[in-house]
Amino acid sequence: MNLEIARLRLPLAAFVLELDAVLQSRVTGLFGASGAGKTSLLETIAGLRRPTAGHISLDGMVLTDVGEGIFLPPEARGIGFVPQDGALFTHLDVRGNLSFSQRVRTHPARTAPTFEHVVEVLNLGPLVARRIGSLSGGEKQRVAFGRALLAAPQLLLLDEPLASLEVELRDQIISYLRRIRDEFKIPMLLVSHNADEMVALCDEVLVLETGRCIRRGPAAELFRPSPRPHHVLAKPVERAPFA
Amino acid sequence: MNLEIARLRLPLAAFVLELDAVLQSRVTGLFGASGAGKTSLLETIAGLRRPTAGHISLDGMVLTDVGEGIFLPPEARGIGFVPQDGALFTHLDVRGNLSFSQRVRTHPARTAPTFEHVVEVLNLGPLVARRIGSLSGGEKQRVAFGRALLAAPQLLLLDEPLASLEVELRDQIISYLRRIRDEFKIPMLLVSHNADEMVALCDEVLVLETGRCIRRGPAAELFRPSPRPHHVLAKPVERAPFA
Amino acid sequence: MSPDAWQVTWFTAWVAVTSTLCILPPGLALAWLLARRNWPGKSIVETLVALPLVIPPVATGLILLKLFGRHGFIGRWLEETLGVEVVFTWKAVVLATAVMSFPLLVRTARVAFENVNPRVEHVARTLGAGPWRVFWTITLPLARSGVIAGAVLAFARALGEFGATVMVAGFIPGKTETLSLSIYHLVQLGRDGEALGLLAVSVALAFGAVWFSERMLRKAVA
Amino acid sequence: MSPDAWQVTWFTAWVAVTSTLCILPPGLALAWLLARRNWPGKSIVETLVALPLVIPPVATGLILLKLFGRHGFIGRWLEETLGVEVVFTWKAVVLATAVMSFPLLVRTARVAFENVNPRVEHVARTLGAGPWRVFWTITLPLARSGVIAGAVLAFARALGEFGATVMVAGFIPGKTETLSLSIYHLVQLGRDGEALGLLAVSVALAFGAVWFSERMLRKAVA
Amino acid sequence: FAAASLSDALKVLAAEHQKATGDPVHLNLAASSLLARQIKEGAPADLFFSADEAKMNDLAKAGLIDPASRRSLLGNRLVIVVPLDSSLKLASAADLANPAVKHLALAETATVPAGIYAKAYLEKAKAWDAVAARVVSTENVRAALAAVESGNADAGIVYKTDALISKKVKVAYEVPAAAAPHISYPVALVKGGKNPAGGAQFLARLVSPEGRAVFAKFGFTPEP
Ligand SMILES: Nc1ncnc2c1ncn2[C@@H]1O[C@H](COP(=O)(O)OP(=O)(O)OP(=O)(O)O)[C@@H](O)[C@H]1O
Ligand SMILES: Nc1ncnc2c1ncn2[C@@H]1O[C@H](COP(=O)(O)OP(=O)(O)OP(=O)(O)O)[C@@H](O)[C@H]1O
Ligand SMILES: [Mg+2]
Ligand SMILES: [Mg+2]
């Protein structure tokens, strides 16, 4: 992947998002405090927001160039986006949401994971016939994730896709994301507040603060093991008679 | 606190939520996989869902009793609820959301944290005059949290209130929650996928699986330190010239 | 414009505003019931509400005349108990326009109420607001675009109503004369030029209402 | 019911359905433009759309007659290029009802479109759907309750329209006779019993439309 | 309560009456059939001034008017009108059977006085059957006139007073008084009015020579 972002400017409520970066890793992490501008950056790359200045190109294809008045519409960018809040289609059931891109796509698809495959990995089997309104928070997140994967994008933008999942499922999905990265060679931009996720998945991480990239480097360099103990659910063996 | 839940039954899409428990800790954790029934349980306690059977009482006051046809409306329960998706009032600005309960309350308020106090701890200062539509994910979560705190509830139900916050802010809010617990003596029910949060805050934790409580016990017993290293952002000292 | 025309314009504007204000409370209540509750006979009530739209205005007017007239069920009661006479007075004009514009308000407001997310209302209740307060502080403001649109439609209809009005209120110059009645009358007399002048006044009133509603919306959002 | 009455009923239902279908495409397009785009003169277009509501039906009828009549601007063009005559035929009935119900559809659909969350449309575009597909697969289904409500209002209005219709289409038994015209006529003759019978038919048609719309809604949700 | 076609003359007379007596006159101006309907439903009218005898007969039958006060006050004539640019030559009712007349605009022939009179005239002239298929009924005289004005009807039969108000039609043929039914505008006091004395006073003014003069000024033919 070669995502070039040059002299980007996007005014936000309290500050201006400014970025100049060439991203070439398979998985790039975006890290930063609440309100740092991570979501806004993803939306600008996806073509959902128009910057006031700057240039964005992906593998040589110009996506946005304010100077030359180029603004490729989102549907022509081939960029999958998993928004923070899911933004599922409430008038369709889970299956309808997942297969949406297959029904509407006009641009040719890349080799993509199959419907069955995505359903299996994301544990969506029992949900395919369910209405969106009756899903739990984590279930919604997984559906939004699967929907974007099935669009066979050239680049995946993931906005905290694992935030409301339990550790087990999260680990499972992380290993799946690694396979997507390696098998399907779909590059990704991943927003997360979880340093462990970053270390497990990202080659490189950008740290944003009030709209600027303040640090950048390989995940292994930016993050260090914490001295604070990290907890997981203990195996219930010691209290065998319970439940 | 003395929250009694007896023979509760709430049919959900794929299973029935069934619970029988007396909760007396200051902070009780609800832990469990995506779709286990945690949110549904909180909504039932808050009076937003009607169970088909069972009894719920808080400190002797009956909230729900299906057998006797008692169902106290949510506004009379004095139970604060921070929903997973925020459910903010988009027609009001941040200040309007935060002060909503003060304007509408008909039941007498308990001693509650002040507006200024909540704004300071949740870092909402720069946001008070902002419209909801322009907030980031984490900002929304904090506003929903502050709104519930200012309602001066007798019991706080928190549905993953820290999921999309960075580690620093999360730590800060955790210590604030500890103070609420100790100073204002507001008991809490906390849903989270993060074991560290559970250990840091909860006296007791219930583990739910497909609608049943499969394990229960003090947080320190249920969770154990993980052998897997946990990561945090390294101090930038080693690369001083950067940024 | 002649003083007469001014007087008619004021009267019309006044009637349209009054009738719109009169139907707002029952209209919004009914719209809310249709949007948020399931009850037996809902489809029937919906049809009944749409009736003044479905049947020709004269027929509506005739029904109103039979109900509110001197021999009518409600008319007699009103006259005997309150000494109020409705038919052929300005009250009849307001009545006719109110009845004719009622369905427009109800339908549009109903759509708006349906689109308010019940979760948000639920959360408002956990914050201590009773159902009534939730309606005023949450549901109504969130549905405002639809409610305002419905009110504008009702107002516009009130300006243009003719058939039912002339039946229950007659065309009594200086007493029940609205712009719409005058225009009809002038057209009948072949005085198209004058009719056009009054038409322009009607349109200006409607434009004022649309403009006002847009402003209200923008203020509510900002 | 007499064979005549049946014929009038069919004709009326057919006219109402046709005129509703005719105004759906332009009505929805305009509603969308009003809901989703800002352009100069928006308030003016809004007022223009509301006009048939604001001015008395006869006046609307007269304007249509002048436009579509043999000497009229559009009428002449239609006759010369397509050899189509509109006035005093069934086409005039459809035209009049369509014009009169247009504002109801546009306003209601507009509210519904405004309530669709643009974020959801945005996400649909990142999934490969162009603006046109997004409209069909996302916006319209999410706005369906309002669109259906608007169509039902338009249909009801089409059933009840009288003033404009009689002006451009005349009252030609067996050719331009609708239920509404018949009812008016019978009321004038004082044959209230027969008028009531036809009224019941009108109401039944309206009830059918309401019932059908509820079914469509429920199916779409399930 | 008075037929709409009388409104201009009546407004003048009402103003004079108020100046002379100080009593305001409330006019309710609408189609005669509608007014008759309203009176039947108990409308508080003192005086009914109809555009045709039939409506007045209806009310008389129902016992709603004071028969002693009934007078036929005004007369009118039927005319056949054609669009201003029409080359049609019409010299009798039979000429309406000319195929060049594709649409003949009449006011509704069952309820509206002008339509009833026109139909009676055509029947009397034995022309009805020939033209019946081409008749376009309109809601009232004004609509018939509008149809002719706009050129959609090739001819129409309306009152002479109406024909005078339109500048876009011309009178092709004036129906002779003898060939058509007698057209008259009857006026009578309504029983159960709120102010019978005032009604009678105004009626007196209408029938007075000054009253007749006003009607004549507006194109009506006052009857003896
Ligand atoms: N539509 C908008 N208009 C103006 N300002 C906005 C808009 N959306 C977000 N902002 C502001 O821009 C800043 C960055 O928002 P953004 O959503 O990109 O943050 P984020 O890094 O994704 O945060 P989080 O981790 O909380 O989701 C925030 O201060 C936010 O309030
Ligand atoms: N309104 C509803 N009607 C029927 N079933 C529902 C409804 N809401 C949720 N469910 C189902 O009930 C189960 C529990 O949902 P709930 O939202 O309580 O899960 P949760 O434990 O909060 O999960 P998460 O951590 O993903 O938020 C899920 O399988 C969900 O699909
Ligand atoms: Mg974000
Ligand atoms: Mg949940």
CA distance B204 to C109: 48
Q: Name the minimum distance, in Å, from the CA of C202 to any CA of chain D.
A: 7
Residue type, D75: G
Q: Specify the pLDDT at position C172.
A: 76
The arithmetic mean of pLDDT across residues C49-53, rounded, is 83
What value, to the nearest 5°, has the Cα angle with vertex D164 and ends D158 and D169?
Answer: 95
C181 inside 8 A of chain E by CB: no
Contact partners of C by the rule of 3+ C-beta pairs under 8 A? B, D, E
Task: Please name which of E4, E121, E118 lies closest in space to residue E51, comparing C-alpha atoms.
Answer: E4
C119 inside 8 A of chain B by CB: yes
CA distance D180 to A112: 60
Distance of CA A157 to the CA centre of its chain: 4
D136 inside 8 A of chain A by CB: no
- Cβ neighbours of A62 (radius 10 Å): 14
Q: What is the pLDDT confidence band of residue C21, given thresholds at 50, 70 and 90? A: very high
Two tokens, residue E10: 């009546």
Q: Name the minimum distance, in Å, from the CA of C210 to any CA of chain D.
A: 7
Instruction: Enumerate residues 6+ apart whose C-beta is below 8 A from E53.
Output: E72, E184, E186
**Which of residues B236 and C197 earns the better pLDDT score?**
C197
Q: What is the pLDDT confidence band of residue B242, given thresholds at 50, 70 and 90? A: very low
Q: CB–CB of E43/C88 below 8 Å? A: yes
Q: Which stretch, A144-153, B42-51, D192-201, E188-197, has highest mean pLDDT?
A: B42-51
- Long-range contacts, stretch E122-128, CB < 8 angstroms, 24+ apart: E122/E93, E122/E96, E122/E157, E124/E179, E124/E180, E124/E181, E125/E92, E125/E93, E125/E94, E125/E179, E126/E93, E126/E94, E127/E93, E127/E94, E127/E96, E127/E97
Q: Specify the pLDDT at position C4.
A: 75
C166 inside 8 A of chain E by CB: yes
CA distance C44 to C55: 16
Pairs across C and E, CB distance < 8 A: 67
- Please write the tens of the pLDDT for every residue from E160-189: 877 777 777 777 777 777 777 778 888 888
C115 inside 8 A of chain B by CB: no
Q: Specify the pLDDT at position B109.
A: 58
List chain D residues with CB under 8 Å of E108: 171, 185, 188
Mean pLDDT check: name the lowest of A75-79, A197-201, E136-140: E136-140
Work out the end-to-end distance of chain E between its first and last CA atoms, rounded to an integer number of angstroms: 22
Question: Which ranges of chain D have pLDDT less than 70?
Answer: 1-3, 219-222
B228·A230 Cβ contact <8 A? yes
Query: Hey, what domains does chain D have and what are their CATH numbers?
Result: 3-221 (1.10.3720.10)
The arithmetic mean of pLDDT across residues A104-132, rounded, is 80
Could you say which DSSP state residue B55 is in? E
Q: Whose CA is nearest to atom 3 of ligand 1?
A: B134
Index of the ligand 2 atom closest to the CA of residue B41: 18
Task: Find out whether the beta carbon of A11 lies less than 6 Å from any atom of ligand 1.
Answer: no
Does the structure show a pLDDT above 70 at B31?
A: yes
CA distance A212 to A37: 8
D125·A75 Cβ contact <8 A? yes
- Please write the tens of the pLDDT for every residue from B187-237: 889 998 888 888 888 889 898 989 898 888 888 888 887 777 766 666 654
Q: Specify the pLDDT at position B232.
A: 63
Which among C56, C115, C206 has CB closest to D50?
C206
Q: What is the pLDDT confidence band of residue A232, given thresholds at 50, 70 and 90? A: low
CA distance A157 to A136: 23
* Count of positions (residues) in chain C: 222
Pairs across A and B, CB distance < 8 A: 162
E4·C166 Cβ contact <8 A? no
- Please write the tens of the pLDDT for every residue from E22-60: 777 777 777 777 777 777 777 778 888 887 787 788 888
Q: Specify the pLDDT at position A97.
A: 92
List chain D residues with CB under 8 Å of A78: 128
Residue of B40, B158, B160, B190 best suited for mutating to test ligand 2, as the one with most atoms within 8 Å of CB? B40
Q: Which SS3 state, helix, strand or coil, does residue B241 take? A: coil
C194 inside 8 A of chain D by CB: no
Residues flanking ligand 2, CB < 6 Å: A 134-139, 164; B 12-14, 32, 34-40, 84
- Please write the tens of the pLDDT for every residue from C94-146: 888 999 899 889 988 998 898 899 999 999 999 888 888 999 999 999 999 88
Look up the CATH number of domain B3-233: 3.40.50.300
User: D–A contact (≥3 CB pairs within 8 Å)?
Assistant: yes
Q: Name the minimum distance, in Å, from the CA of E126 to any CA of chain C.
A: 30
Does the structure show a pLDDT above 70 at B240?
A: no
Q: What is the pLDDT confidence band of residue B238, given thresholds at 50, 70 and 90? A: very low
Q: CB–CB of B192/B29 below 8 Å? A: yes
CA distance A211 to A37: 5
Q: What is the pLDDT confidence band of residue B118, given thresholds at 50, 70 and 90? A: confident
Mean pLDDT check: name the lowest of B122-126, B232-236, C177-181, E31-35: B232-236
- What's the CA-to-centroid distance between C196 and ligand 1, angstroms? 54
Q: Specify the pLDDT at position E14.
A: 82
The arithmetic mean of pLDDT across residues B33-48, rounded, is 91
Question: What predicted TM-score, i.e. pTM, was given to this entire model?
Answer: 0.87
Does the structure show a pLDDT above 90 at E137?
A: no
B89·C122 Cβ contact <8 A? no
Mean pLDDT check: name the lowest of B9-18, C12-21, D49-58: D49-58
Could you say which DSSP state residue B242 is in? -
Q: CB–CB of D91/C88 below 8 Å? A: no
- Please write the tens of the pLDDT for every residue from B44-102: 999 999 999 999 999 888 999 998 988 989 988 889 899 888 889 999 999 999 988 88
Does the structure show a pLDDT above 50 at A242?
A: no
CA distance B46 to B157: 8
Task: Find out whether the beta carbon of B111 lies less than 6 Å from any atom of ligand 1.
Answer: no
The tally of CA atoms less than 13 A away on the side-chain side of residue B192 is 28
Does the structure show a pLDDT above 90 at A107?
A: no
A79 inside 8 A of chain D by CB: yes
Which among E4, E28, E37 has CB closest to C172?
E28
Q: What is the pLDDT confidence band of residue A240, given thresholds at 50, 70 and 90? A: very low
**Phi/psi at B236 (nearest 5 deg)?**
-80, 10
D96 inside 8 A of chain C by CB: no
Element (H, E) at B192: none
CA distance E64 to E55: 12
CA distance E129 to A55: 82
Mean pLDDT of chain A: 84
Which ligand number lies closest to the CA of residue A123? 2
Does the structure show a pLDDT above 50 at A243?
A: no
Q: Specify the pLDDT at position E37.
A: 75
D36 inside 8 A of chain A by CB: no
List chain A residues with CB under 8 Å of D122: 48, 74, 87
A138·B34 Cβ contact <8 A? yes
Q: Specify the pLDDT at position B111.
A: 66
ipTM over 0.90: no
Task: Find out whether the beta carbon of B90 lies less than 6 Å from any atom of ligand 1.
Answer: no
CA distance A79 to E91: 82
Percent of chain E with pLDDT over 90: 0
Sign of CA dihedral B57, B58, B60, B63: negative
Q: Specify the pLDDT at position A239.
A: 44
